[in-house]
Structure formats: C-alpha cells, structure tokens
Structure 1
Amino acid sequence: MELSLVVPVFNEEESVGPLIARIEEAMAGYEKRWELILVDDGSTDATLSKARMSIGKSGLDLNIVAMQRNFGQTAAMQAGITQARGRLIATLDGDLQNDPRDIPAMVAELERRELDLLVGWRKNRQDGLLLRKVPSWIANRLIGRITGVRLHDYGCSLKIYRASVIKQVKLMGEMHRFIPAWVAGVVPSSRIGEMPVTHHARQHGVSKYGISRTFRVILDLLSVMFFMRFRARPGHFFGSLGLGLGAFSGLILAYLFVDKFILGNDIGTRPLFLIGVMLFLSAVQLITTGILAEMLARTYYRDESSVNYIVREVYSGEQSNS
C-alpha cells in the first residue's frame, strides 16, 4: 500500500457521497495502490449509512472506522492514522472544502523535496474575513513564532505525511492544528514544507468552528510550547519557577529577620511579611508539583500505547471487525 487517505467526518450526510466520488475521480490517474479511510466521529445523522453504501465498490479500497461517540477531530484523525496501511498518509477534511485533486501533486512534491510532512496552504481561502481569516492569520503567526516552524497555514487539514514519522506522534486533545509542531519534535523542521492548494467554500451543512476557537487555540498553544520544551523534563519548568519564587521569598524574609531581631522593629502586621510567607509556600508547591510531574511523565513514557478514543466497528469491503 503506497498511500492512505484519512478523512474524519462528523454529521456530513450531504457531503460524504460527493466526497467519495470526488476522491475517486481525483485518484483515477494515480498508478500506485491507495486506500480511503473514512472515520465517522460519532455522527448523529445518516453520514455512516451513506458512507457504507460505497463499501465494496469496484476500484475503491474503502475502510470506515466508526467511533463509539464523538471524540473530536484530533482523536478521529489519530484513529484513521492508526488504521492506515500506506507508506504515505494524506489527511483532508470531509466538508468538500479541501480539493482531493491536489493530493497526487502534493505526493510528488513531498518526494521531490524529500520531506516528511507537506502542509497545504489555502492561499485563496473561501471563508469569511472576520470569523475565519483574521483569527487564522493571527493564530498562524503566533504558532510560528512560538514553535519555530514557520508556515502560512497551520489549520489546513490537507497534509501529506510519511507514515513512519506521523505514527511516532501521539495526537491528543484538540492538537490537530499543531501537527507540524509535533512533527518538528520528531524530525528537523527543514523536513517540513508547504504548498499552495485549492480551497472551496462550504457547500453543505454548517461549520463546526466559530470565533470561540481562537481562545482555545491560545490555550492549546501554551500547552504546545510547554510540551515542546519540557515534555520529558516537566520538573525543570515547575522547579525553575519554584526556585525563583523561593529566592525572592528568601530575600524578603532575610530582610525582615534583620529588621526584627537586629533593628528591633515590629514586622507582624507588615504586608511584606505575608508576601514573603506566601511566596515561600508557593515555591514549595511548585517544586513538589515538578516532582509529581516528573513521576507522571515517566509513567506516560512507559505506556505510550494508550489511546484516547474508542472504535465501535471497522467496516471494509472484505469484512466487518468489532
């Protein structure tokens, strides 16, 4: 298997049929073996039943991963990547906004430039200016500055990966938009590139994203920054803060000690005394938190096989596996 196409879908009953047809048309000239993996992320409409109508279709190697409930796009993408058999993996959205006709060209570009990840750049986005373009523009620059991986479009789901690389990355939470940053923790950022791709306006259904996503991106970005720098040594992060506060507390308490026992002044009602004590307690808490975080990190690395989703059933042209 040369290429696996992974497509998470959620309540896309009007789009899933045309999506499969469009992928078949786009990949008709692709000479190597490929497969399509649809991940139904707990849809409550007819998405799953309409997708299953294409199973067994001649010339289409279709597998459908049905999630037990809605776990979110990141978990759905992780489930599809785990199921993928291809040497290369392509991901795209299921709402028809990504154009699958870009995939063969992106595969060729990834091989030509010897990259491990090629990210689509929606250079001419067909989205609203205020609710989508402006927040995305701000988020892309924040992510690039903090992670050091400079891309124009982090949010584009159309990406091509080498399976051996992306399967080393464990996706959690809502971190799919930060995949290039996670990949940069496995390979040099010089092996991550981008390529302009076509972007279409949404044709059916409603967008799953709104302006509130901007605030979640900021919180997720802080998590990414922490994991990129302190994932294997969280004790250094909390310990550094604790030692800094402890040193500041030590200076305050030393000054008050001199003021009390040498100069003879009353310090019991002074706000500075309370600040010194609270800083000392905070320092102790941060240092102990760092120790606990180190213990949790070691537990995590011993059990990286754990997953954060549940697959109800896998449908394919040959059989159905629970």
Structure 2
Amino acid sequence: MDVDRVDSVSVVVPIYNEVENLPLLYNALNDVLTKFDREYEMILVDDGSQDGSKAVLRELAAKDSHVKVIELRANFGQSAAMSAGIQAASCDVVVTLDGDLQNDPTDIPMMIAKIEEGYDLVHGWRKNRQDALVNRKLPSKAANWLISRTTGFPVHDLGCTLKAIRREVAQEIELYGEMHRFIPILAHWRGAKCAEVVTKHHARRFGESKYGISRVTRVLLDLITVKYFIQYLVSPMKLFGFVGLMCLALGGLSGAATIFLKMFHEFDMTGNPLLLLSVFSTMVGGQFLAVGMLGELGSRMYYEVRGRQPYAVRHMLNFDQHISIEENRNVRSAA
C-alpha cells in the first residue's frame, strides 16, 4: 500500500460563540466529506461558548455519529481548543479550520491531495482575503513578513487556520498560549515536509471577529518564543553562553583599557567609566553563563522527564508497529 495514501480525515474546529454559524458550518462540512471517498470525523471543540453554541453542538452530535463534541470547562483560547481536538483525532490526517465560515471546506479535498503527494503539512494562503484592510490585512502582512525573515520559513499567511496535517505530526506539536498560528514552523522544526497552497476565503456572515490589531504584541512575543524553541531549545548554552562570552570579552577589554589609561596617562581609575563597564560586563557575563547552564539542565529535563526525543522518525521498516524505539533499544540491550 502507498504510504502516502490518506484513508481517513479528522476535521477539527474550535468553536467560540458561533451559534448562528454552526448549522451552516455542519452542512458545508457534511456536503464535502460525504462526497469525499474517505472515512471521516468532525471534532467540534466548544471553547466555553456563552451564546447557545453548546446546545447546537449537542443536537448535531445526536443526529450524526460522525460529529464528536468536546466541551471545555472555560474559554481557554484557540490554541488550547485546537490542541484538545488534535489529541482526540483518530484519522490519518487532521484538518483544522475556523468555525466562522471564512475558511471554505471545499478546499479540503485539494489539501488532502497535496498531502498524498508526500507532504506532512499543507497550510492555506488566503491570497484574496476578505477582511478589513487596517485592522486585519495590513497587520497580518507585516507579521508574516517579520516571521518569515526571523525564522527563515517562507510563508505568506501563517494566520490561516485551514491546515491539513498528518496525525502523527500534529499530535507531537505542543500548543500553549497562542502558538496555533506557528504550527507550520513548529512542524518544520521537527522535520515535517510543508507546503503552502492558495485557499478560498469568505467574509464573516454572522458574529464578530475575536481578533484585532491588539494581537500584534502577542504575536511578537510568541515569535520570540518560537525563535528560541526552533534554534536554541536543544542547546540553550549556544545562545546564553555566546552572550555571556561577549560580555566577558567586553569586560576584559574595558579593564585592560582602564589599566592602560592609569599606567600611561595617569587617568584616575575611580572616575573612569570604563572601570564600571568592566565590572558590570563581567558580572552580566557570568550571569548569562549561569543561565545557559540552567537552560541546558532544563532542556534535558524537558526531553527525559516527558519521554521526548530531540528527533522525529518518519518511517520504521521491519519493526513491530506497536513497539517504540526506546522499547526496541531495551530489548536489544537485554539480548
């Protein structure tokens, strides 16, 4: 059997106060998926809605066994809701999309076909985006340019929720805060083969957008976190140690300059700002080195305590599919 063949699809939709959109969303998804030659499930995650969405979701689940509902106890945010749906998915590929009808379910077959070409993740590009220019489109373009330049990951529209991801890739990505928009970058960091495709986009028909220009600051802070994760998580000393050595070098040069001025120009050391710079830089350099060592310890705890590894396996041949790499290593050691 072709390893790239997709036999089943899990559609994960975070829901927050979308009571008017839910029947239309279900009909649109149902129309596409019932005609699609794949097994499927719809995982609708209620993220603490207060507008009656929960009752509509229960009605949909009662009349269609393909609909699976997860009700969160409070509004934990889109990343948390998406993570809950992804972890509950059981099909070959996980498709994520918004519940506001702006993403078009008719793009799903096209994205699955792209996955079958050998990609691990396919993310949408809302090339003809139907949103407000100042509040949504311009900040998004600026953010995508900055993210692309900072991470080295070529992308036009990282904020598009419509994505298709192989389940084993999706379920090993840990989503905290508002990291859902960085899923392609986090997957790429773990060795996933990613592709971007142009998708359709519609104006919101009901309800109000949960996003605005105020999210720019949060995106920038998340970008710093992602940059650290993809480049320095495995070895934090490369970042903190480098900064520490630069500070120590600056302190050494400042100290040497202070002594030179004292010996050859009789410059008063106590009034020389270079002496203060030397002491300050040396102290800061030592602190950065200490932070780097603590970071190294934390990194090892992250991988060992959680049973994670700093690598990802694409295929394993002639292994029992139910045995892990660690279990297989223990079996060979015992032999």
TM-score, normalised by the number of residues in structure 2: 0.85
SS of the equivalent of 1:28 reads: helix
Per the alignment, residue 194 of structure 1 pairs with 196
Which residues of 2 match residues 1-322 of structure 1 at below 5 A? 2-58=8-64, 60-111=65-116, 113-187=117-191, 191-260=193-262, 264-304=266-306
Shift in Å at residue 52 of structure 1? 0.7
Shift in Å at residue 104 of structure 1? 1.6
SS of the equivalent of 1:21 reads: helix
Which ranges in structure 1 are unaligned for 5 or more consecutive residues? 307-322
SS of the equivalent of 1:35 reads: strand
Q: Deviations over 1:218-249 (max 9, x none)?
A: 22112211111101111221111011011011
CA contact (8 A) 1:27 1:101 kept: no
State the alpha-carbon separation in 2 of the partners of residues 34 and 224 from structure 1: 32
Per the alignment, residue 327 of structure 2 pairs with none
Shift in Å at residue 261 of structure 1? 5.6
CA RMSD, 1 decimal: 1.8
| Runs of 4+ in structure 1 over 6 Å off | none
Q: Deviations over 1:134-188 (max 9, x none)?
A: 1111111222222222122111100101112222221222111111110111225
Which ranges in structure 2 are unaligned for 5 or more consecutive residues? 1-6, 309-335
SS of the equivalent of 1:131 reads: helix
Q: Which amino acid aligns with 1:217?
A: V
State the alpha-carbon separation in 1 of the partners of residues 258 and 218 from structure 2: 43
State the alpha-carbon separation in 2 of the partners of residues 20 and 303 from structure 1: 41
Q: Which amino acid aligns with 1:67?
A: L
State the alpha-carbon separation in 1 of the partners of residues 305 and 44 from structure 2: 27
State the alpha-carbon separation in 1 of the partners of residues 127 and 33 from structure 2: 23
Per the alignment, residue 333 of structure 2 pairs with none
SS of the equivalent of 2:144 reads: helix
Q: Which amino acid aligns with 2:125?
A: W
CA contact (8 A) 1:41 1:71 kept: yes
> Aligned residue pairs: how many?
302
SS of the equivalent of 2:42 reads: strand
State the alpha-carbon separation in 2 of the partners of residues 50 and 302 from structure 1: 43
CA contact (8 A) 2:257 2:274 kept: no
Q: Which amino acid aligns with 2:210?
A: K
CA contact (8 A) 2:258 2:272 kept: no
SS of the equivalent of 2:164 reads: strand
Q: Deviations over 1:64-121 (max 9, x none)?
A: 111122221111111111000011110000111111111122112221x211111111
CA contact (8 A) 1:117 1:160 kept: yes
Shift in Å at residue 270 of structure 1? 2.1
Shift in Å at residue 22 of structure 1? 1.6
CA contact (8 A) 1:168 1:186 kept: no
Shift in Å at residue 262 of structure 1? 6.5
State the alpha-carbon separation in 1 of the partners of residues 307 and 142 from structure 2: 35
State the alpha-carbon separation in 2 of the partners of residues 257 and 302 from structure 1: 48
Q: Which amino acid aligns with 2:137?
A: K
What percentage of residue pairs aligned between the two structures are identical?
42
Q: Which amino acid aligns with 1:253?
A: G
Structure with higher RCO (Cα < 8 A, 6+ apart): 1
State the alpha-carbon separation in 2 of the partners of residues 40 and 115 from structure 1: 30
Q: Which amino acid aligns with 1:76?
A: A
